[in-house]
């Protein structure tokens, strides 16, 4: 069977599985729709959280990014995993004890204020839409490359599947589907990684092969070889990177804190039965995430050596384009690899200086890996199914946040407090449907700024939710004035910095112009500091939170009695 | 109030915070310390085919993160039982 038949088969089977799960796990009440009835096993929840978290970007783009960034790629690895330590230790157990449905729920109740709730709802919706647009694009790219349908058909197909299980099953359907999606995506990631690790280093464990000697018998370590190649070709050494230390520090911090503040991640910890389960569940989530995240940098290094050797040849003289392997011409068709024969010798050459003739999109590293390693057609199809699973699982989680924010936080808790549970559930489904339509539109007509606004999602989560929740739990005296002023100034600061450098004056987006050398990607860290400082200052001026709020906070701090807090 | 005395409630929270701070110090040390601030001096130490600082940035810190959460889970479970504020099984 050829690649396309395999892809149709595997993607089709996985879709059938997701839909089957959706029918089995239909939600009957708002509680099932919002938090899956609060009865998910912590290991299953950990797996679902991992699938929810690992998006098309983690699956398709991350290894490629690291491959091109070398050491600097560590910001994503540490940033997107370290946040789970904060989640497990500082947020998840307490939010689970609080026992409501959403992040704006917590902010609104803890700070006894509709204004605080509204600020939180707007942030949650904005963050989720920013994120979901990127996911839809990911689905489109995978479909167009592997199924050779156009991006519009690909996006619509993906949307139909998500619509089916998210609207029907709510959190319950999404959780069980995500468990299945995790299995598909991790299998699809590991199989080519193991093959390519054996190919390059002879070691079947990618994490170990990463630090092993090459399989060519030369006795050279893989990373030594990469550093050597980089020096020869005019790149910075693979193990040192180009970003300044302060920028690496701030970006890593912003990603960590942002991760811990993302509403679609936090909400997952409302779905387990007990506080102790919320703690365990965060641990399992990180185990499942780390399996992919520790493999990614290894894949990045293997792919880089492989790619440079395929293009430049073992003698570094360049390989004749006419005799290039078929994956190069396959990807040239998609425009993701381009070759411009500058010195007209008919040979390709890839380097970091003016000898370079290649333009290689970083996204292809993962997708082309099985082809580069000459793996069978079913492995290539598996990668397609995995990419789709990663994109769908994350979009579904985000759509749920959007729909609950609207039906629960905005309508039930704000505008229409008298609607019944059935009506609220109906509004939740309608909101999910509308959310999907908007997401599909954004996927088909991606605004040019999607890539630029990803920093936004993390910056906003870091500078708004994270400090407000931390203070809400660890500082009893924090009042609504302090929290609202803190959130607004944190968001205001972060937003203006990002908008200035990304939209108003993108030409000035250079290290010399950045404050303290911090790029817009890392500014969320400073925004978080601003939030904390303003919140403290305003709280000192306006007095302490009322006594019943202090009691509420006290009750969050120990697990006993978590069951009682579940309902409304 | 689920604690037997106010004193217990205070002690429980104090022990919780002490554990939290200890684990967060380790969290900071392996990622921001070894992986970023001290990466250059550590890179002169080899670990198999890795430079040590680079290994912490791209591998080691993640393994430590996972371990930290499970240590926290175990210690908190013991603490909850000590003060009898655990949930019913």
Given this model, what pLDDT does residue A453 score? 63
Q: What are the structure tokens assigned to A386, written together?
A: 């995995």
**Residue B26 touches partner A, C-beta closer than 8 Å:** no
What pLDDT shows up at residue A365? 81
Chain B contact set for A252 (CB, 8 A)? 31-32, 36
Among A214-223, A445-454, A487-496, B31-40, where is mean pLDDT lowest?
A445-454
Which stretch of A80-94, A295-309, A407-421 has the lowest confidence by average pLDDT?
A: A407-421
A256/B76 Cα distance (integer angstroms): 23
Nearest to A200 by CA among A374, A366, A387: A374
Judge whether A177 and A19 are in contact, CB under 8 Å: no
Shortest Cα distance, chain A CAs vs residue B17, angstroms? 9
pLDDT of residue A89: 93
B34 has a chain A CB within 8 A of its CB: no
Grade residue A565 by pLDDT with cuts at 50, 70 and 90.
very low
Beta B50-51 vs B46-47: how paired, if at all? antiparallel
| pLDDT at residue A451 in the model | 55
A312-340 confidence digits (pLDDT tens): 887 778 888 888 888 888 788 777 788 88
Could you give the CA distance from residue A431 to residue A402 in angstroms, rounded to a whole number?
7
Question: Using CA atoms, how far apart are residues A278 and A298, in angstroms rounded to an integer?
Answer: 31
End-to-end distance of chain B based on CA atoms, in angstroms?
A: 20
Q: Which residues contact A485 (CB under 8 A, 6 or more apart)?
A: A534, A535, A538
List of chain B residues whose C-beta atoms are within 8 Å of the C-beta of residue A249: 32, 36-37
At A563, the pLDDT band (50, 70, 90 cuts) reads: low
- Three-state DSSP class for A213? strand
Q: What's the average model confidence in pLDDT over A496-500?
A: 87
A249 interfaces chain B, CB cutoff of 8 Å: yes
Question: B64: which chain A residues are within 8 Å (Cβ-Cβ)?
Answer: none
- Is A207 within 8 Å of B59 when comparing Cβ atoms? yes
Provide mean pLDDT across the span A206-225.
86
How many percent of chain A have pLDDT more than 90? 25
Mutant choice from A43, A67, A85 vs B, greatest count of B C-beta within 10 A: A85
* pLDDT tens, residue by residue, A437-490: 888 887 777 665 555 566 678 888 899 999 999 999 999 999 999 999 999 999
Per DSSP, what are the bridge partners of residue A360? A337
Mean pLDDT for the stretch of residues A257-269: 88
Tokens of A409: 């936080």
Lowest mean pLDDT across A137-146, A421-430, A459-468, A515-524: A137-146
Residues of chain A contacting B34 with CB distance shorter than 8 Å: none
A294:B20 CB<8 A: no
Chain A: closest CA distance from residue B51 (Å)? 8
Per cent of chain B over pLDDT 70 is 98
For residue A568, what is the enclosing H or E element?
none
Buried b (16+ CB within 10 A) or exposed e, A318-348: bbebeebeebbebbeeeebbebeeeeeeebb
Q: Indicate whether A566 pLDDT > 50.
A: no
- Counting one residue from chain A and one from chain B, the pairs whose CB atoms sit within 8 A come to 140
State the Rg of chain A over Cα.
24
Q: For residue A564, what pLDDT is reported?
A: 45
Q: Which value, to the nearest 10 degrees, does the dihedral of the CA atoms of residues A543, A544, A548, A549 take?
A: 120
Q: Contact A73/B70, CB-based, under 8 Å?
A: no
Smallest CA–CA distance, residue A288 to chain B, in Å, is 10
Report the alpha-carbon distance of residue A213 to residue A223 in Å, rounded. Answer: 9
Mean pLDDT is lowest, of A44-58, A71-85, A467-481, for A44-58
**pLDDT for the residue A86:** 94
Decide: A188 and A176 in contact? Cβ < 8 Å. no
CA A522 to chain centre: 16
The yes-or-no verdict on residue A244 having pLDDT over 90 is no
pLDDT given at position A547: 92
């Amino acid at each position: 069977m050829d690649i396309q038949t395999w892809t149709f088969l595997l993607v089709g089977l996985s879709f059938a599985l997701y839909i089957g799960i959706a029918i089995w796990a239909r939600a009957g009440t708002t509680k099932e729709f919002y938090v899956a009835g609060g009865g998910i096993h912590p290991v299953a929840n950990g797996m679902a959280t991992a699938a929810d978290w690992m998006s098309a970007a983690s699956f398709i783009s991350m290894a490629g990014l690291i491959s091109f960034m070398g050491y600097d790629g560590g910001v994503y690895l540490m940033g997107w995993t370290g946040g789970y330590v904060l989640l497990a230790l500082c947020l998840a157990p307490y939010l689970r004890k609080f026992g409501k449905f959403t992040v704006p729920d917590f902010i609104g109740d803890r700070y006894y204020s509709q204004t605080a709730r509204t600020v939180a709802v707007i942030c949650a919706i904005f963050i989720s839409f920013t994120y979901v647009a990127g996911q839809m694009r990911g689905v489109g790219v995978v479909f167009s490359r592997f199924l050779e349908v156009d991006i519009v058909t690909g996006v619509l197909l993906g949307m139909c599947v998500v619509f089916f299980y998210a609207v029907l099953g709510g959190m319950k359907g999404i959780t069980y589907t995500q468990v299945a999606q995790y299995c598909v995506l991790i299998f699809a990631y590991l199989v080519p990684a193991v093959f390519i690790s054996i190919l390059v280093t002879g070691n079947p464990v990618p994490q170990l092969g990463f630090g092993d000697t090459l399989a060519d018998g030369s006795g050279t370590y893989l990373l030594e070889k990469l550093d050597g190649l980089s020096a020869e070709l005019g790149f910075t050494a693979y193990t040192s990177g180009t970003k300044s230390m302060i920028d690496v520090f701030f970006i890593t911090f912003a990603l960590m804190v942002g991760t811990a503040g993302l509403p679609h991640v936090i909400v997952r910890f409302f779905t387990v039965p007990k506080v102790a389960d919320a703690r365990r569940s965060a641990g399992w989530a990180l185990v499942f995430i780390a399996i992919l995240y520790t493999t990614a940098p290894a894949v990045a290094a293997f792919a880089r050596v492989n790619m440079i050797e395929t293009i430049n040849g073992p003698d570094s003289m360049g390989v004749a384009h006419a005799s290039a392997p078929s994956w190069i011409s396959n990807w040239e068709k998609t425009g993701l690899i381009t070759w411009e024969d500058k010195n007209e010798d008919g040979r390709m050459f890839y380097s970091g200086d003016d000898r370079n003739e290649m333009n290689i999109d970083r996204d292809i590293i993962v997708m082309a890996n099985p082809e580069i390693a000459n793996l069978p057609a079913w492995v290539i199809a598996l990668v397609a199914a995995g990419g789709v699973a990663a994109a769908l699982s994350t979009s579904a989680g985000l759509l749920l946040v959007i729909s609950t924010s609207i039906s629960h936080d905005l309508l039930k808790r704000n505008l229409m407090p008298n609607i019944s549970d059935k009506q609220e559930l109906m509004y939740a489904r309608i909101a999910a449907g509308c959310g999907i339509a908007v997401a599909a539109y954004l996927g088909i007509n991606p605004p040019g700024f999607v890539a630029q606004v990803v920093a936004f999602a993390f910056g906003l989560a870091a500078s708004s939710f994270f400090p407000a929740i931390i203070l809400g739990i660890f500082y009893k005296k924090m009042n609504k004035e302090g929290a609202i002023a803190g959130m607004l100034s944190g968001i205001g600061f972060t937003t203006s910095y990002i908008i200035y450098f990304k939209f108003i004056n993108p030409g000035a987006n250079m290290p010399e112009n950045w404050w303290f050398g911090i790029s817009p990607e890392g500014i969320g860290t400073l925004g978080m500091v601003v939030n904390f400082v303003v919140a403290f200052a305003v709280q000192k001026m306006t007095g302490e939170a009322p006594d019943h709020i202090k009691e509420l906070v006290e009750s969050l701090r120990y697990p006993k009695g978590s069951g009682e807090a579940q309902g409304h | 109030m689920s604690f037997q005395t106010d004193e217990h409630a205070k002690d429980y929270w104090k022990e919780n915070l002490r554990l939290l701070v200890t684990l967060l110090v380790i969290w900071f040390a392996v990622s921001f310390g070894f992986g970023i601030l001290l990466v250059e001096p550590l890179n002169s130490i080899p670990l198999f085919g890795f430079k040590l600082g680079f290994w912490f940035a791209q591998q080691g810190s993640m393994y430590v993160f996972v371990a930290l959460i499970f240590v926290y889970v175990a210690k908190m479970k013991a603490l909850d039982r000590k003060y009898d504020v655990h949930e019913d099984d």
